[in-house]
């Protein structure tokens, strides 16, 4: 644990230089497993820092846009190599600042590596298409062009993966960016940007502004020279951003909340379903937008499933994510802990559900200086209870009984969100019917609701987002605009839809 005088101060990255904030102020980045451990002090930036970063991005835009996409991609491939070489260090630093266990943090960094390699490959594609023109001696096609300056706002739960999902596609499409990192996890975004610098990405193309959301977010979202905002975070904040972007006619991509469910059919492998439910509900301490916060279980196996689930939950090892035996780390901060504990109280006093396991903050011994909550499960939950409807974003899951597959599907769909769903069954007919009827952006069979891969589109329906998808090639549609091109080599004026073509 660093002494106060040894705590490192970090800077923003603007126009190719590491610079202090115009405010001169800093905020502490603390370890949620032990709040006495200050990871570093980061600039508490203000509107002037955003203005400087946007100005740098505007200044770099033309040269970067005119750099051939394959050349942009070569730099991104180099970035992937740098991330891979530093994976172990970045992993440990992420666990220290965010709390997730080392294996999960390693997966987070690996996802950034995968995203970088995969998206770099698009630099030699960025496909448009050709199509027959309706007039003779005329050629028709379409291509992608950059959007411009992109503002990227990222959350705490995937400190390097989610910034990479936005940053790398934006860059390969020829945009310049201003990244506002999650204020609880600024070091991981800084590591990503330092790797961009090392890879040789030109000055001004990538800019990083640290700070509190309320201090810098509105300026970035409302800046006249920012053409696009890509946001991952809470639904409440996403709606505010969407309203501002609508007024300013900006492009906006939102990835927000989830209230995801696993269906467990009566023919399911119950042991496998329990393991999947544990991973889905308590991976990243339940702090995933795809977390399995509802377990919708057939009445024929309900008691057996609940007994096995509670037995396994009571054996989960909670602790510091840097310790090899830890399976569930802390939650991110005091506010998150209080919110989660308030929902546990709602589940007991308001919803009158059965608290079958967990339910308390851990405060003794190694837990006393951290934000630790016992993995918690409620049983005898009905679909309309608040704990069955509202996103808790912590290590809490609810088990809901059902009798028919159609009833289960209705339960899954009857929430404000539509991100991820899953079904455990050995019946291929039931599996395909569920995949058809579950109204979510992601659906798993015989797996949990978490575990997306970078080459498939990621996103959801309803309150989860605004129709865009990250990852895959579909993300290119966020960070590029279509341009249709018509080349008439007839040597005369031809009026489309007016001049008749003789056959």
User: How many CB atoms neighbour CB 303 within 10 A?
Assistant: 12
Please provide the DSSP assignment of 353-417 as one string. -EEEE--SEE-SGGGTTS-EE--EEEES--TTSHHHHS---SSEEEEEEESSHHHHHHHHHSSSE
* Token output for 407: 């009833």
* DSSP letter (8 states) at residue 89: H
- How far apart (Å, rounded) are the C-alpha atoms in residues 396 and 295? 11
Given 255, 327, 374, 391, which residue is catalytic?
255
Given 289, 327, 374, 443, which residue is catalytic?
289
Catalytic-residue membership of 245:
no
Catalytic-residue membership of 289:
yes
| Nearest alpha-carbon partner for 201 in 51, 60, 50 | 60
Residues 6+ apart with CB under 8 A from 334: 371
Is the CB of residue 449 less than 8 Å from the CB of residue 426?
no
Q: Are strands 376-379 and 372-373 parallel, antiparallel or unpaired?
A: unpaired
114 to 84, 108, 135, 455: CA distances (angstroms): 9, 10, 44, 9
186 to 195, 197, 299, 400: CA distances (angstroms): 14, 17, 46, 38
Catalytic residues: 255, 289
């Amino acid at each position: 644990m660093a002494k106060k005088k040894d705590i490192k101060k970090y800077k923003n990255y603007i126009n190719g230089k590491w610079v202090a904030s115009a405010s001169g102020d800093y905020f502490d980045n603390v370890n949620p497993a032990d709040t006495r451990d200050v990871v570093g002090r980061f600039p508490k930036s203000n509107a002037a820092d955003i203005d400087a970063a946007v100005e740098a991005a505007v200044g770099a835009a033309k040269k970067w846009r005119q750099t051939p996409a394959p050349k942009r991609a070569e730099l991104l491939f180099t970035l992937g190599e740098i991330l891979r070489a530093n994976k172990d260090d970045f992993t440990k630093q992420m666990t220290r600042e965010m709390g997730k266990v080392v294996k999960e943090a390693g997966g987070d960094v690996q996802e950034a590596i995968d995203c970088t390699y995969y998206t770099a490959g698009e630099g030699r594609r960025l496909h448009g298409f050709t199509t027959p023109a309706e007039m003779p001696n005329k050629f028709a096609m379409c291509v992608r062009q950059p959007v411009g300056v992109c503002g990227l706002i990222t959350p705490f739960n995937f400190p390097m993966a989610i910034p990479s999902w936005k940053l790398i596609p934006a860059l390969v499409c020829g945009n310049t960016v201003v990244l506002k990192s999650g204020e609880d996890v600024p070091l991981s975004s800084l590591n990503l940007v330092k790797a961009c610098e090392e890879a040789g990405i030109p000055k001004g193309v990538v800019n990083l502004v640290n700070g509190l959301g309320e201090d810098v977010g509105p300026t970035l979202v409302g800046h006249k020279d920012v053409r696009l905002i890509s946001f991952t975070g809470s639904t409440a904040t996403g709606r505010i951003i969407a309203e501002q972007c609508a007024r300013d006619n900006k492009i906006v991509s939102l990835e927000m909340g989830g209230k995801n469910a696993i269906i467990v059919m009566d023919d399911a492998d119950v042991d496998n379903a329990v393991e999947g439910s544990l991973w889905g509900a308590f991976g990243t301490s339940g702090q995933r937008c795809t977390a399995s916060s509802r377990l919708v279980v057939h009445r024929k196996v309900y008691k057996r499933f609940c007994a096995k689930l509670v037995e396994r939950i009571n054996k989960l090892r909670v602790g510091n994510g840097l310790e090899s035996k830890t399976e569930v780390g802390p939650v991110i901060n005091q506010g998150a802990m209080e919110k989660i504990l308030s929902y546990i109280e709602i589940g007991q006093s308001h919803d009158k559900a059965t608290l079958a396991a967990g339910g308390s903050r851990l405060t003794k011994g190694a837990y006393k200086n951290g934000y630790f909550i016992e993995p918690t499960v409620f049983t005898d939950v009905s679909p309309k209870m608040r704990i069955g409807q509202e996103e808790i974003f912590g290590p809490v899951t609810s088990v809901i009984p059902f009798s028919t597959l159609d009833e289960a599907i209705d339960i899954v769909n009857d929430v404000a969100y539509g991100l991820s769903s899953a079904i455990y069954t050995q019946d291929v007919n039931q599996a395909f019917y569920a995949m058809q009827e579950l109204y979510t952006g992601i659906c798993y069979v015989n797996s949990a609701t978490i575990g997306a891969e970078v080459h498939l589109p990621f996103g959801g329906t309803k309150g989860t987002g605004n129709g865009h998808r990250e990852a895959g090639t579909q993300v290119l549609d966020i960070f590029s605009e279509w341009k249709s091109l018509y080349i008439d080599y007839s040597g005369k004026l031809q009026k489309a839809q007016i001049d008749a073509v003789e056959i």
